[in-house]
Structure 1
Amino acid sequence: MSKKNVLIIGAGGVAKVVAHKCAQHNDVLGEIHIASRNIAKCEAIIGSIARKQNLKVPGTLQAHAVDALDVPALVALIQKIGVSMVLNLGSSFVNQTVLKACIEAGVAYLDTAIHEDPEKICETPPWYANYEWKHKDACAEKGVTAILGAGFDPGVVNAYAALACSEYFDSVDSIDILDVNAGSHGKYFATNFDPEINFREFTGQVWTWQNREWTSNSMFEVKLTRDFPVVGEQSLYLTGHDEIHSLSQNLDVPNVRFWMGFGEHYINVFTVLKNLGLLSEKPVTTAEGQSIVPLKVVKAVLPDPASLAPAYTGKTCIGDLVKGVKDGQPKEAFFYNICDHAENYAEVESQAISYTAGVPAVAAALLIADGTWDVGKMVNVEELPPKPFLTKLSELGLTTFMQDAEGERQLF
């Protein structure tokens, strides 16, 4: 039976893209509801959809106020509006409560990033085992489909990894996920998504999977320079990231690493903020006796990532560099996507970082809706068939390319 009617949790940049794309496919997805603590932000997204005339057929597009940390309130909202699917695009701090509400209400769940405890940074790997995977049995018992990390990275890069292992290699030695934003937002300093989550990724240990074991490095310790399709030569740094923590457990690959592109200016500003203690998640007391969290102050004074979109130019390149063996011979292939900030803004009034994270969530939702990915249990993206997902992504605006010894070509 197909699933219809969607609740989007969150009203940030990625949620905005998801809402636009759901609206473009509301003939399949049915009613679209957007919920956040700040209902005005939800209503602004609805206004944006109206401006771009992105509702495919006449239908419900409604805003709601809810605290995503309040499980009973979430369950009540889900039951009141009668949705069959919840797309969690809220802060990484709300994953557990939204997931619990979906299990209790018996509706499908999907997110784009791993859960985080606001009091902890860089926990013991594999991270998914600390929170999400503890609910696997509950999902299976209730037949609830829960798809974890269905953004781009994690998400699409997981599907690239699954595709490479199943179709293009007999054995894989390494998967290096490469994430480059070669765009410019014109600000002195800004982050492309929630500054609090952004900085938390880079202030702890860098955990990667090397030689079939967890390996720790420090941020900006290991550098890689590579010539990319379209965006040219870029410098990247070994970074900890969500997808390493599922790919390392679900695929038989001895080395899984994540690399993110950073300019010297970002590194310099980040280093100063960190050395001054301004990226700490621990409260400090001011001379006036006020208790404040330095990281939250930095977040408050930096530009809202959503505000960067109108002036953003340039492109992103994100993909998997896979090395292994095919037919007894060494093989290397790069599976990737190129996205354009200005083109994304013209379509959905958002920049490419939000676009690449949001579009895959809608592709996954459409596959849940038609039954292809409605598996009745908790899974990470690499555990699902990649071809229907990558095909749907291409239809939605994210094309997959492959670069190997035979040249470059479009796959989906």
Structure 2
Amino acid sequence: MKRNVLIIGAGGVAHVAAHKCAQNNILLGDIHIASRTVTKCDAIIASIREKDSQCGPGQLKAHALDALDISATTALIRETGCQIVINAGSPFLNMAVMSACIEAGAAYLDTAIHEDPAKVCEAPPWYGNYEWKRREECSQAGVTAVLGVGFDPGVVNAYGRFALDTYFDKVDSIDIIDINAGSHGRYFATNFDPEINFREFTSTVWSWEKNQWKANKMFEHRQEWDMPVVGTHATYLTGHDELHSMSKHLGVPNIRFWMGFGEHYINVFNVLNNLGLLSEKPVRTAEGQEVVPLKVVKAILPDPASLAPTYSGKTCIGDLVKGSKDGKKQEVLVYNICDHKTCFEEVGSQAISYTAGVPVVAAAMLIADGQWDVGHMVNVEELNPAPFIELMNRMGLVTRVRDASGDRVLEPQKERASLTVEDQSDAQVLVGHFGYQQSTLAEQRMTG
């Protein structure tokens, strides 16, 4: 049983993760939040107290930390007695925080692939450039490291694994579709860190097609999808973290990621990009000052966390899986609907942060409970998705499935006729252990 959690970062995802850890601290114990700006950590703790999110007794403590300082992070993990570290900070921090976890013997979780500040849209498989090189170290130290366990990457990886194992004999394609049908009311803003957001789109867009990597240009391929609740939206083929691991582990010949963009976003993005304002390379001003254009743009755009109070509408993210079962063609959509306003009322965040923050805490709980405490490095699709989906249903992030039989809440125990007796027993234990005070939130999102 692992207890006490250290959350690295104090942005929107860290805010949600802290609230959810506090809601479940009977299992997770003390909650520590660390960032270079300790006042942001203090603000998250104040929000937890204001929302009365803490379920049981335990510490809520803020710490000032430069997470690139491996020795300082290692020392903080040891001083606080934290056995689980949630890296909800910038992807630039991944390898440093992972190193500290290996040194301190703490489980490691993150929500995005590592990034080198000097490189964008790296050659696939991207995980092979950084995280996967540390596999042996994790195994030797007996450290559980679950990579990319936000929503996308993360939940969509689990959806792909669950669909493949449950509904199909053969899968031909997985199309991951991410639609934000909400409105924040600002002229222009990004829903998460602008620097990371723009870096996803300024170079090669990689997709996995016919069992090989295909290079594309941003906004080159457009597709309209009719999705539950949010309706029909235009999306564009985009490179994304989960493709780099799902292509390796699932044995599916075609895996693509589609993200919804409005014309206004595309126009602003193209202007900024064509002017060179999205470049990660430093330039020198006439006054001799060196600046990075992308960091300047980030500095003048709204903080994504500030969008939450006025955000309205819903998100829809899911996996459209096509293949065959018993020789017949089969199509299944596994998805989630999340409401911006409901998220703000519960934890003071918008839905983009909520959908990333809930899964990483669910994963932490499964590590604490032992079910995902595997003692080595894994991507989400390498783990049993059933308890993960079941737990998120009870934490307010409800999964649904749409197929030839209709549209319904996905309850893994009922859907998986192939579950072993041992797996069913584990799932029943999970329901009993984590079922407290989550049903109302789940019911809200099932109907919302």
Q: Deviations over 1:303-351 (max 9, x none)?
A: 0000000000000000000000111011111100000000000000000
Structure 1: distance between partners of 2:203 and 2:367: 35
**2:102 match:** 103
Structure 2: distance between partners of 1:232 and 1:327: 31
> Deviating runs (4+, > 2 A) in structure 1?
none
Q: Deviations over 1:3-46 (max 9, x none)?
A: 00000000000000000000000111000000000000000000
Amino acid at match of 2:366: L
Identical-residue share of aligned pairs (%): 68
**2:346 match:** 347
3-state SS in 1 of match to 2:54:
coil
3-state SS in 2 of match to 1:202:
coil
3-state SS in 1 of match to 2:373:
coil
Structure 1: distance between partners of 2:371 and 2:201: 36
**1:372 match:** 371
Amino acid at match of 1:352: A
Amino acid at match of 1:104: E
Structure 2: distance between partners of 1:191 and 1:317: 17
Amino acid at match of 1:77: L
Structure 1: distance between partners of 2:131 and 2:145: 10
Structure 1: distance between partners of 2:225 and 2:247: 24
Structure 2: distance between partners of 1:207 and 1:314: 30
**1:63 match:** 62
Structure 1: distance between partners of 2:362 and 2:105: 21
3-state SS in 2 of match to 1:203:
coil
Amino acid at match of 1:97: A
Q: Deviations over 1:367-394 (max 9, x none)?
A: 0000000000000000000000000000
Matches within 5 A, 1:5-404: 5-404=4-403
Structure 2: distance between partners of 1:228 and 1:106: 43
Gaps of 5+ in 2: 412-448
Tell me which of the two structures has the higher relative contact order, counting C-alpha pairs closer than 8 angstroms and 6 or more residues apart: 1
Q: Deviations over 1:230-280 (max 9, x none)?
A: 000101000000000000000110001100000000000000000000000
3-state SS in 1 of match to 2:343:
helix
**Alpha-carbon distance, 1:410 to partner:** 1.0
3-state SS in 1 of match to 2:201:
helix
3-state SS in 2 of match to 1:86:
strand
**Alpha-carbon distance, 1:124 to partner:** 1.2
Amino acid at match of 2:282: P
Structure 2: distance between partners of 1:74 and 1:228: 43
Amino acid at match of 2:16: V
Gaps of 5+ in 1: none
Structure 1: distance between partners of 2:287 and 2:404: 64
Q: Deviations over 1:85-117 (max 9, x none)?
A: 100000010000000000011110000100000
3-state SS in 1 of match to 2:360:
helix
**Alpha-carbon distance, 1:123 to partner:** 1.1
3-state SS in 2 of match to 1:391:
helix
Structure 1: distance between partners of 2:105 and 2:410: 36
Amino acid at match of 2:221: V
Structure 1: distance between partners of 2:39 and 2:225: 43
**TM-score scaled to structure 1, two decimals?**
0.99
**Alpha-carbon distance, 1:58 to partner:** 2.1
3-state SS in 1 of match to 2:53:
coil
3-state SS in 1 of match to 2:121:
coil
Structure 1: distance between partners of 2:75 and 2:360: 24
**TM-score scaled to structure 2, two decimals?**
0.91
Structure 1: distance between partners of 2:29 and 2:402: 38
3-state SS in 1 of match to 2:189:
coil
Structure 2: distance between partners of 1:405 and 1:26: 40
**Alpha-carbon distance, 1:297 to partner:** 0.3
Structure 2: distance between partners of 1:55 and 1:233: 39
